[in-house]
Structure 1
Amino acid sequence: MSAWLPQLEIAAEQPPEGGGDGGGNNNGKWKGKEKVVPKHRKNRHGMLVGCYFVPKDLELFAILRCKLVCGQLPGALNNVFEHIRILEFHPALLHETYIGKEEDGYIYFFNRRQFAMKAGNKRQPTRVAKGGTWKASGGSKTVRSKKVDGIDIGQKLTMMFYERRFEGDRNPIKTN
């Protein structure tokens, strides 16, 4: 015995006024920020409808390791992450360009760190971007595995973008 399943597709539209909770006069076709219509049963990232990408820190490190070892991510994760050189873009342009890839308020990127040689053999990461500079905000947070005797997996660092108003600006403006 075979069961008929309707296929779903995500339309690139904004939810109607009053929210996208499926209530009101939108015929129950809105799921959060996504409109669900018959075709593929998948959301805009290629995941099944109802599945959302909200990773924890350890999961992000596992995804990065998979990307480094295998060269690409499995399944729908390829549709969530972008591999670009972040320093070549102003953060506002990044957001504007990749807003369609936003998942639960975040846009995910892979970026290879670039280093500049300073005096001696000390390598320092390059943080100068178009229109400003990235600076560390607060200290780094060590991410530890709870399953493997609390071994250190990596470090998490919050970065803030300071925008230069003109070339040579000595007092850049902190952005949010």
Structure 2
Amino acid sequence: FSISFSVSFTFSFISLHTSGSMAAEAHLKANYLPTLALLLLFLLFASWLAYVTFEDTPQGKTIFTSYCTTLYQMFVLFTTSNNPDVWVPAYKSSRWYALFIVIYVLLGVYFLTNLILAVIYDSFKEQLAKQLAQMDSIRKTILQRAFDLIDTNGQGYLSKEQCLSLLDELNKYR
């Protein structure tokens, strides 16, 4: 029986079980993948609709010149980085064209972004609860194994000498 062996065994056992974060991250990505696919479909459809709608307008000749350019511009508009640059020419051409941009921004920025954030947060919260429960279970198992290693007599409790020996050994790891 060696207390130093027990302590080193316990610390090495803990470090083995903390490497499960990669699996948790993969699980999180699998949870919000459908929402990201919805975002991609929204961008593809809205870009196609913008390309077709603004084809014969000044905006179609300057901003939405090809489908790939339109997709890029609509993605940047989704991030609201080029917000006035995209809709001002449409607004000058016709106020009905600006309605398309306003609906796109409302759906994309205020609905889809919040939906993505909610799904990611919910998945993270669920995964965190699972990890905490697993870590609590591991902690209980480790403590029970450490106690079983220290309780050489199998009495279910430690004598004063065993406690002092344990505290002396743990004091070396401060």
TM exceeds 0.5?
no
Larger strand fraction of residues: 1
Greater fraction of residues in helix = 2
Higher relative contact order (CA closer than 8 Å, sequence separation 6+): 2
Greater C-alpha Rg? 2
TM-score range, shorter chain: under 0.3
TM-score (norm 2): 0.18
